[in-house]
Amino acid sequence: MQIPEALEAVWRHETEWLAALPRLVAECAARWGLELEEPFDTPTSLVIPAGDVVLKLNAPSHFESDTEAEALALWDGAGAVRLVARDDVRRALLLEHCFPGTELWHASVDEIAVISELLPRLQIRVDGEHAFPLLADEADRWAEEVPHRFAGPGEPFERSLLDAALDIYRTVDRNASCLVNQDLHGGNVLRAEREPWLVIDPKPLVGERELEASGLLRNAHDASRWLDALADLGFDRERARGWGVAHNLAWAWDERRGWLDVHVEEARRILNAR
C-alpha cells in the first residue's frame, strides 16, 4: 500500500503511526473482510475505498476527530454518511462510500442552497451525558493560548483582530447544547446516491450553533452572502461573524510553523465582511 504523499507531509511528526499504517490497514481489512482499493489522495486521514464502504484511519494526535464516530452515529445517515463500524483501538472507521463522491465545491450547483438544506438536520440538541467536547471549554483554552501566541516576537497581526476573537471567547454561551461541526464546507459535502448530498469528516463540538459558521466563512468566496444566508436560517448574524473570526484565529496557529498567514487573512476577511 502506497501512503499518499500529502498524508505523510501533514503527519510527518507521527512517525510511529505512519510506520504502523500498513499493519493497521491489514488488520482492519481482515477484521471487516474488505477488498481494498487504492487510497484517496487525502492529507488529514488515510481513506481507502472498498466497494460500498471506505476505511478511514485517523492519526493519534488528530484530536478534533476523536468523536467523529459519535456524531455520525447520532445523525444516523440523516444528511451525513453512515457509520458502518468502528475500531477505537486502531482509530479506524468503516463508513458509507458516497457515489459518485463529487465535492460540492466542484459541482455546478449553489453551495449555499445545498448546505442550507442540510444544516437544520445536522444541528441537533444534545441533552444529558455525551462524549463530545464542549465549545465553552475550547473557548476557555483559546482565550489563554491565542493571546499568549500573539505576545511572541513581533506582531503577527493587528490587535483589533485579537480583541474581536477574545470578546467571543469570553462571552461563550455555557448553556448552549447544539451539536456543531467545526469543519463544515463544500469540500466535506459529497454527491451521493442515498441522498443527493452527504456530509463527511465532521469535527464535532457541543455549544453555540453559530460556531458552525466558521468553516463556511473560512472557505467562502463571498462571506457577506453566507452571513445573510445563515441569518435567514435563524443564526445570529453578528455572532456567526464573531465565531468565524475567533475560531479561525484559533486554528491559524501551527505548532511547527507558527502563525499561518493565509488563515489569519481569512479571519480578517470575515471580520471585515458586511
Cβ contact 245:266 at 8 Å: no
> Which of the residues 41, 66, 167, 183 is marked catalytic?
183
Environment class of 114 (CB within 10 Å of its CB; exposed 0-12, middle 13-18, buried 19+)? middle
Environment class of 14 (CB within 10 Å of its CB; exposed 0-12, middle 13-18, buried 19+)? middle
Distances (CA, A) of 195 to 84, 108, 224, 260: 17, 17, 29, 36
Distances (CA, A) of 75 to 21, 180, 215: 29, 12, 19
**Which DSSP state fits 223?**
H
Query: And the C-alpha cell for 273?
Result: 465582511
- The question of whether 137 is a catalytic residue gets the answer no
**Which DSSP state fits 209?**
G
Length of the chain counted residue by residue: 274
Residue 60 neighbours by CB under 8 Å, 6+ apart: 14, 17, 91
Q: Residue 125's beta-bridge partner residues?
A: 178
Cβ contact 227:241 at 8 Å: yes
Catalytic residues: 183
